[in-house]
Structure 1
């Protein structure tokens, strides 16, 4: 018999059922930005003040940078420490969708902004001190951290750090403005919810194999990292939202999502005021509102019906988690 050189993936013999369930969920909710009628938001856009338009551009610029980091470096690093072949397939899907997310913001820019405004957005993004520092902290862990540290960085990025940017479109959605732009954000949030839950589950598998001493050391590192990221995120939020007066409200939203990130990792929450009731109800209404039920894909004659977008429920974070 010839010795095996390369092993074919066998989806009929699954080592971890969470891989299969996650693959099915991600492929079920596949979408593309080109199928969403962003031009329908132009009237709303024209009614926004210059301050508001600048804010939208900058938050989406920041999100573009983070999705670029995740698609180009983050998922590539996570794929190096897989447990199963089907896990690699899931990460391939995640990596592609992170590229879709990054491209989606450019679709928004090309619809709402002039060429000069787009240049300003990317110049701001590529030179904002706190945004660049955030990317540096996460990427340093991707390049030099342990496999479990990389998973922590990824979950903190997708379940916590993105949300300083997500606040703006969710606020406008809660006020029935820029609803098609918000549809894209809600689709991205739906993806990120699955990504954060799945990677958090894989973290927990490895974490549970550590000794108590190793677990405590990793937990200390994890919470120190979260404090460092939150301190920087407060400064970043201030640069974005001070002029419009939303800074305190956004910080509440950040603390809520920081606790969600810890939940994904199987850890205890950090912030006492990081509960849903502490967040602006307009934003929570935006994040929980379903899509407008129109057939996005029929805009180009495809006829494919896109399912409703729904926010993750607390029970959704229990995927694969053992009861304690």
Structure 2
């Protein structure tokens, strides 16, 4: 008999890293599907929005769809190659599925609010926008060519920073009691991304702490250089999206705040002076992912999923 590779069954009764088990359980408790969210109830709000704001919503969601697709198709595969335990692979598998569900969520919103022609235009815009393509290419280049720790940096920057230029819009409308069911979907996505960024940041810190002092300084310099590069592009992307509605400077504050959060997930010092106190309070309040009280039988809020949902707070960004 020809000797072949021996396959090892994953044993959840023998945990090498307790954070793998904690994270897997947290993510499964948070499980949700976009098809259970009553986005159709926002059609009335949608029809009342000025055309310029409709186009903004479409573009930010088109951009988010592309980034979620990148994470599900390229990012998690890149991280999985460097996993240290079978349980870590299981967590990454869960993250990969939910990134795909996030991308599907935006299509669910589009199919509810937009015409077929409008949807085609949204995806054309995402495909052809230089700033959006640049940030995707910068992240994907690290996924394809970076070291294991560099890949984790890129993933945390995507999850904890680059998504937020798009998240600003639905959170802003939520604070003004508009598109609240669409915002419910986004809050669920934000809750997931918070957990993803914290977990991958934790794995980064494990590896980072094993480096020599010289290696740490080299990696830190590379990390901040990548963040500068991403931020410069993100500012241009933000100006393109928000100049017409006059929100650009507020969104830039939000970007810097979340860039600092991404660095905190990596165990590194904040780069920007901006704090939660500097962010538009309407938007910062929307980052709370507590339960919205929908009717138990007729509609689904982010509290009635498969379990009780805990509110995320700053501590959830770090293990």
TM-score, normalised to structure 2's length? 0.95
Secondary structure of 1:109's counterpart equals helix
Aligned partner of 1:212 in structure 2 is 213
Where does structure 1 differ by over 6 angstroms across 4 or more consecutive aligned residues? none
Aligned partner of 1:284 in structure 2 is 284
- Whole-angstrom distance in 2 between the partners of 1:297 and 1:138: 42
Tell whether the 8 Å contact from 2:29 to 2:306 is kept in structure 1 after alignment: no
Give structure 2 stretches of 5+ with no counterpart.
Answer: none
Change (3 A) 1:133 1:260: same
Q: 1:102 deviation in Å?
A: 0.4
- Whole-angstrom distance in 2 between the partners of 1:235 and 1:184: 27
Aligned partner of 1:322 in structure 2 is none
The one-character-per-residue Cα deviations of 1:13-60 (angstroms, maximum 9, x if unpaired) are 000000000000000000000000110000000110000000000000
- Whole-angstrom distance in 1 between the partners of 2:113 and 2:139: 30
Q: 1:288 deviation in Å?
A: 2.2
Q: 1:6 deviation in Å?
A: 1.0
- Whole-angstrom distance in 2 between the partners of 1:95 and 1:161: 17
The one-character-per-residue Cα deviations of 1:62-96 (angstroms, maximum 9, x if unpaired) are 00000000000000000000111100000000000
How many residues in Structure 1 have an aligned counterpart in Structure 2? 314
1:247 partnered with 2:248: yes
Secondary structure of 1:243's counterpart equals helix
Secondary structure of 2:65's counterpart equals helix
- Whole-angstrom distance in 2 between the partners of 1:46 and 1:291: 27
Change (3 A) 1:246 1:81: same
1:92 partnered with 2:93: yes
Tell whether the 8 Å contact from 1:237 to 1:250 is kept in structure 2 after alignment: yes
Give structure 1 stretches of 5+ with no counterpart.
Answer: 320-324
Aligned partner of 1:180 in structure 2 is 181
Change (3 A) 1:109 1:267: same
Q: 1:309 deviation in Å?
A: 6.4
Change (3 A) 1:180 1:256: same
Aligned partner of 2:313 in structure 1 is 313
Q: 1:314 deviation in Å?
A: 2.2
Q: 1:317 deviation in Å?
A: 2.7
The one-character-per-residue Cα deviations of 1:99-145 (angstroms, maximum 9, x if unpaired) are 00000000000000011111111111000010000000000000000
- Whole-angstrom distance in 2 between the partners of 1:84 and 1:305: 27
1:275 partnered with 2:275: yes
Change (3 A) 1:296 1:63: farther
Tell whether the 8 Å contact from 1:207 to 1:215 is kept in structure 2 after alignment: yes
TM-score, normalised to structure 1's length? 0.94
1:102 partnered with 2:91: no
Change (3 A) 1:3 1:116: closer
Aligned partner of 1:42 in structure 2 is 43
Aligned partner of 2:204 in structure 1 is 203
Change (3 A) 1:239 1:7: same
Change (3 A) 1:296 1:251: farther
